[in-house]
Amino acid sequence: MKVQSQFEKVLEDSAEGVSLPMEMLRSEASLRDLRTLVKYSELPARNEMVYEFDGYITAIHETSRDLQVFNTHVGGAVDSVININRWTSRYIDSIITKQEERRSSLLSWGIDWLFSPFRSPVLFEERFILDKYIEHTAFVSDKIADLILEAQAILRLLSVAEEHLQIINEHVVRSSDVVQQRHSEVFYTLWTILGVNNSRLHNLNKQLSLLKRVDDQRRSAIRQLISLIHDLSDIQSKLGDLRDRVAAPELLADNASIPLQVHIQTINAGVARLEKARSRIRAEEDERLQRALNTPIGKEKWIEG
């Protein structure tokens, strides 16, 4: 339950970027306008740059779509973890009920003393509980593995976008005498080159700001995904360690004194914490999405005429 409590941080990390896919889609207009200017410019490598712009825009578009789905899957995975915890708690509770019924039945026949020397009820109970914990952690680990694979796929998309950006940056450097130190500034430099003698451009500073935001969003997505993969991998590693320890026979003797009711209370307390975190973070997600919807992006007129 202590390991599973780390899902709260995973939810918080995911919630911080919940509006990012929407912002990335809304910022695409700035990239498309810049691509149009490059296409009809006098730059020597304009055809090659348009090709790279197409690749970059496609990668960013797919990333924003997949990020939106991924954020939904993170919440769904936590809901599944909450449900499997409830199921495990009910299962343990059912063991207690069956034990009480069996004990009552034996006592009513007055024969419980016949079997007491030959059985070890505590070890029997603990073996069932530990087997159920192995099943429980395997289910949670599978959910985590799916999320990690999904996040890594999105990171690969962002790497493709980075490759396109690198090539665009090289063309920009060759098309100007400016040494580009950071490719996060490539759009800024390119738009400046195109806009120097272009009287049709309107509100250049705002346009440059929007273009810079596009790559800021890309780098923000990378940071978010790397953080989530790290947190999910940490949970998965700890669950794997727990499964190994549970499988060890000596653990039975160590845990034999823990009443079943304590297991139930521990699980229920963990579920309550996760549910509380889920509700709080859902409200934060709604607030971030509403803020993003209310933020005007792309209303500026990019090219006059």
pLDDT tens digits along 145-197: 999 999 999 999 999 988 988 888 887 777 665 544 555 567 767 766 766 54
Q: When comparing pLDDT for 81 and 285, which is higher?
A: 81
Burial annotation 76-91 (CB, 10 A radius, 16+ → b, else e): ebbeebbebbeebbeb
Question: pTM value?
Answer: 0.73
Cβ-contact 164, 191 below 8 angstroms: no
pLDDT tens digits along 72-105: 899 888 888 888 888 888 887 887 777 666 666 6
pLDDT at 216 (0 to 100): 84
From the number of C-beta atoms within 10 Å of its C-beta (0-12, 13-18, 19+), residue 202 rates as middle
Which 3 state secondary structure label does DSSP give 303?
A: strand
CA distance linking residue 6 with residue 234, whole number of Å: 9
pLDDT at 70 (0 to 100): 92
CA distance linking residue 54 with residue 47, whole number of Å: 11
Whether residue 242 is predicted with pLDDT greater than 80 in this model: the reply is no
Identify the weakest region by mean pLDDT among 55-69, 169-183, 206-220, 234-248. Answer: 169-183
> Hey, how many other C-beta atoms are within 10 angstroms of the C-beta on 120?
12
Q: Return the biggest CA–CA distance within the chain.
A: 102
CA distance linking residue 146 with residue 14, whole number of Å: 15
pLDDT tens digits along 112-149: 544 444 444 555 566 777 777 788 888 888 889 999 99
CA distance linking residue 215 with residue 158, whole number of Å: 11
> With bands split at pLDDT 50, 70 and 90, how would you rate the model's confidence at 51?
very high
- Helix/strand number for the chain, H first, E second: 9, 0
pLDDT at 257 (0 to 100): 63
> With bands split at pLDDT 50, 70 and 90, how would you rate the model's confidence at 299?
very low
pLDDT at 125 (0 to 100): 64
Looking at residue 123, the DSSP 8-state letter turns out to be H
- Whole-number average pLDDT of the chain: 76
Count Cα neighbours of 131 within 13 Å in the Cβ-side half-sphere.
7
Cβ-contact 23, 214 below 8 angstroms: no
CA distance linking residue 112 with residue 206, whole number of Å: 84
Please choose, from the candidates 27, 54, 34, 32, the residue with its C-alpha nearest in 3D space to the C-alpha of residue 210.
Answer: 27
